[in-house]
Structure 1
Amino acid sequence: MKHRPLALLGTMLLGTGLAGCSSSGGQNAGGPTVLDVWLMRDSVSEAFQKEFEAGFEKDHPGIDLKIQIQEWEGIGEKVTAALAGNDAPDVIEVGNTQVAQYAQSGGLTDFSGKVGELGGDFWLEGLAEPGAWEGKQYGIPYYAANRVVIYRTDLFAEAGIDATKIKTREQWLAATEKLNKDGVQGIYLPGQNWFTLAGFVWDEGGDLAVQEGSTWKGALDTPEALRAMDFYQRLQALGKGPKDSDESRPLQAEVVAKGQVAQVIATPGGAGVIAQKNPELQGKLGFFPIPGKTADTPGAVFTGGSDLIVPAAAENQDEAYTFIKELAGDAWQKKLALAMSYVPNKTNLATAVASDPGAATMAVGAANGHATPNTPQWAAVEAKNPIKDYMTAVLIGRDPRAEAAKASQSITTTLNSGS
């Protein structure tokens, strides 16, 4: 699921083609060590990549950095093949929720002893938690992105609503209901936006699935998750979003660009797409964090983003760690956040994006970021995605408890199938 930086929101491995792996460069005869790194498409701009390479090699003249940009499609199989072979790159960027799949094979370097040195006390939980597996830290947080509310400043002004004062979910509902008149949709929220539902579930103290000993159990039928779905249903009813599709069918940006839609839940980059499709909305789009249950805490959000991993078979372990320490370090994190409108990997760096309204709003929400259940089998849940079917069933009037029990059982079966 990548809506620009959010390709990482999904753990489903896209594509079936297996591309050849690039071998590690190793040591040039009498020269610097060649360090092979795989970064993903759109995680860095060409300008940032050039700046980082020049700065890194200046500070570390014994390393010749070779960054290869990889495509998201088919990357899961490509990484799996690399980890199983003897010619793996030295560092690989992966989606934060994909780390468990690779760690399970035993093919990753354990960085547990380096967490303190890397500033782990300040890591975003939504990046650090899925980067760990069975008590060991394999993935080092790289950058994050999450959803915010993008709103029409002109429609809010006409309705007499100050977006900066919307701090709680009940205030949000009241404002949205006020906006929902005279041909304006208070919010465009498709019925299967399950990442948004997940945030409400976490707000209520629940989860999508819970681990009980060595087994997993779907948790959509818990009181917490049922309360979350009830709130989702109330919010969704204040717009004309379809009950049986997600945010990609049709594309949310296109809907907002065409009509009188007051709000949409998306990553900040969506505002640029909206304005591109309808130039009249340029300068009329603002941002605020998804409100929480109480005013003192922003709404929980799914943290999409990337972690950096090192294959256990990589030839240049010390140099790989040096690379990670630099790219995940404070100086380059600040530059990356500004260059790409990302959230830095640490909570104490949030002020680095203060000058970027969308990224700054995203950083507020990121402080309450979460990840999907940390198990290699979660990708299989998303492939079937009973959560989407459950949401549609409730929105068209079926019994929430019965449908939640059905979806939870499907999640339970998939997570414990081992396939």
Structure 2
Amino acid sequence: MRLRVPALGCVCVLLAGACGLVPGGDGPERDTVTVWLMKDSASKDFLDRFTEEFERAHGDLDLDIRIQEWTGIGEKVEAALETDATAAQDGPDVIEVGNTQVPQYVEGGGLLDLTLESLRDWGVRDWLPGLAEPGRQRTTQYGIPWYAANRVVIYRKDLFEQAGVEAVPKTRQEWLSVTESLNTAGNQGIYLAGQDWYTLSGFIWDEGGDLAVEDGGTWRGTLDTPAALRGLDFYRQLQALGDGPVDADEEHPPQAGVFAGGRVAQIVAVPGLARAVVRQNPELEGRLGFFPVPGPTADKPGAVFTGGSDLVVPKNTDARDGAVAVVEALVSAEWNTDLARTMDYVPNKTTLAPAVAGEEGVAAMAAGAAQGRATPSTPEWAGVEADNPIKEYMTAVLSGADPETEARRASRRITQALAVPLG
């Protein structure tokens, strides 16, 4: 929160270990804006440069950036939001939160309404939907998109060439045909675990379905709709073209290790996983490529689950103007592009995608992010994931059970979980 310090003082950024520029002489007192950012979201070099430029542009403000761990962050943020203004002077004025975490903080009533600021000149019309939608409650914007990451197809260029595949697929039907042609000489056309429900979600959204919908303030599971069932049917066809286990997700075993084994042509993952693959199998250096998850038609990529971060401002801040200034700077085209290039992220706006066009994996992510979505915007969704009925549903259908029967059962469980308030 805001602290008063002499003009000649220097408030250091905890991560950067460097002080901002402070005008000399007996100038006005400076206010400190405390910012909580998550570990590894931004590099030390980026934060050094941002802090120096921000403090130069805002002569009455100093930044105190405090790096947080993801483990246990939910409880820590909730505690900070619940603290009254008088007791919160050492707490955060700006907080980075996961995009799907915003609804739970909104429900607690501890976030500042940033609708007017975001509508004014922050590029709201171009925000990635997968970041913007979870930060919004009806027409009120609480979470401001910062950066995104999402799944793409990582593929073996050499195996595509050996199979005579001259171009990456642009549609889902092409993807099935190409994948089938890659099942040669002991190779798997694709490794897709049976419980990769994030990837399934994209296929459901492509068909016009959803995992759950709200009606009159009540949420209900919708895996049993015709659209959602069509999404699962495509997943079933694609998954059958490889040897992925039907009763496990992409981390059991870790698909990076499976891909590194050298007999898999494709996986669906964030581009950064390619580094782990090459570390385990250096022979794959230079052989990996990336393309967006194909959609039903060639005019645009398929929908994907969008992960990433939003920036929020606690309602109990006593440095409102300074906090808004920090958010405005971080989400600006200049700094958002800088962050994306530095960290291999997708920028927060579709219009900034050209800034990462030179990096194949990030460019593929950015193309998919334009069609991105997030999980249902309700704080109770965490209860669904805690005992995930979608995974069990997928395994049952891939093992031969009736899709409609299993979809109704899973939808009922989702509805029940969403009716139980967290806390």
Could you state the TM-score of these two structures normalised by the residue count of structure 2? 0.92
1:132 aligns with 2:136: yes
User: 1:194 matched to which residue of 2?
Assistant: 197
Number of the residue aligned with 2:18: none
Residues 320-399 of structure 1: pairs in structure 2 closer than 5 A: 320-399=323-402
Is residue 163–residue 288 contact of structure 1 (8 Å, CA) maintained in 2? no
Amino acid at match of 1:148: V
Residue 28, structure 1, aligned to residue 32, structure 2: no
Matches within 5 A, 1:106-125: 106-116=109-119, 117-125=121-129
Deviation of 1:49 after TM superposition, in Å, equals: 1.3
**Structure 1 segments of 4+ aligned residues over 6 angstroms from their partners:** none
1:138-164: per-residue Cα shift (whole Å, max 9, x none)?
A: 000000110000000000000011243
User: Counterpart in 2 of 1:15?
Assistant: none
- 2:102 is aligned with 1:99: yes
Report if aligned partners of 1:153, 1:284 keep a CA contact under 8 Å in 2.
yes
Indicate if the aligned counterparts of 2:202 and 2:302 stay in contact, CA closer than 8 A: yes
Cα shift at 1:306 = 0.3
Matched, 1:296 2:273: no
Q: State the 1:28 CA deviation.
A: 2.2
Q: Which runs of 5+ in 2 are unaligned?
A: 8-28
In the other structure, the counterpart of 2:73 is 75
Kindly state the Cα deviation for residue 25 of structure 1 after the two structures are TM-superposed.
4.2
Instruction: Write the mapping of 1:12-411 to structure 2, written as runs, cut at 5 A.
Output: 24-29=1-6, 31-86=29-84, 87=88, 88-116=91-119, 117-164=121-168, 166-411=169-414
1:204–1:228: 8 Å Cα contact kept in structure 2? yes
Q: Which string of whole-angstrom CA distances, capped at 9 and with x for unpartnered residues, describes residues 326-384 of structure 1?
A: 00000001111100000000010000001111111100001101111111101111111
Aligned amino acid, residue 368 of structure 2: G
Aligned AA for 1:85?
A: T
CA distance in 1 between counterparts of 2:298 and 2:138 reads: 35
Distance across 2 between alignment mates of 1:278 and 1:32 = 53
Letter in 1 for 2:31: T
Q: Which amino acid aligns with 2:77?
A: V
- Residue 55 of structure 1 and its aligned partner are, at CA, apart by 1.5
RMSD of the TM alignment (CA)? 1.0
Distance 1:287 1:27 in 2: 50
Q: Report the AA paired with residue 3 of structure 2.
A: G
Report how many aligned residue pairs link the two structures: 395
- The one-letter code sitting in structure 2 at the alignment partner of 1:313 is N
Bigger shift: residues 230-239 or 29-38: 29-38
Kept in 1, the 8 Å contact 2:2–2:319? The answer is no
What is the alpha-carbon distance in structure 2 between the residues aligned to residue 26 and residue 127 of structure 1?
A: 32
8 Å CA contact 2:193–2:239 kept in 1: the answer is yes
CA distance in 2, matches of 1:27, 1:358: 45
1:344 maps to a residue whose letter is P
SS at match of 1:101: helix
C-alpha distance in 1 between matches for 2:96 and 2:166: 40
Counterpart-to-counterpart distance in 2, 1:322 and 1:162: 49
State the SS of the aligned residue for 1:109: coil
**1:65-112 superposed Cα distances (whole Å, 9 cap, x missing partner):** 111110000000000001011313000000001111001111100011
Question: CA separation in 2, counterparts of 1:118 and 1:28?
Answer: 31
Q: Distance in 1 between matches of 2:311 and 2:72?
A: 18
TM-score normalised by the chain length of structure 1: 0.93
Does the CA contact (< 8 Å) of 1:26 and 1:316 recur in 2?
A: no
Tell whether the 8 Å contact from 1:191 to 1:246 is kept in structure 2 after alignment.
yes
- Give, in angstroms, the shift of residue 212 of structure 1: 1.0
Q: Name the larger-Rg structure.
A: 2
The separation in 1 between residues aligned to 2:3 and 2:99, in whole angstroms, is 27
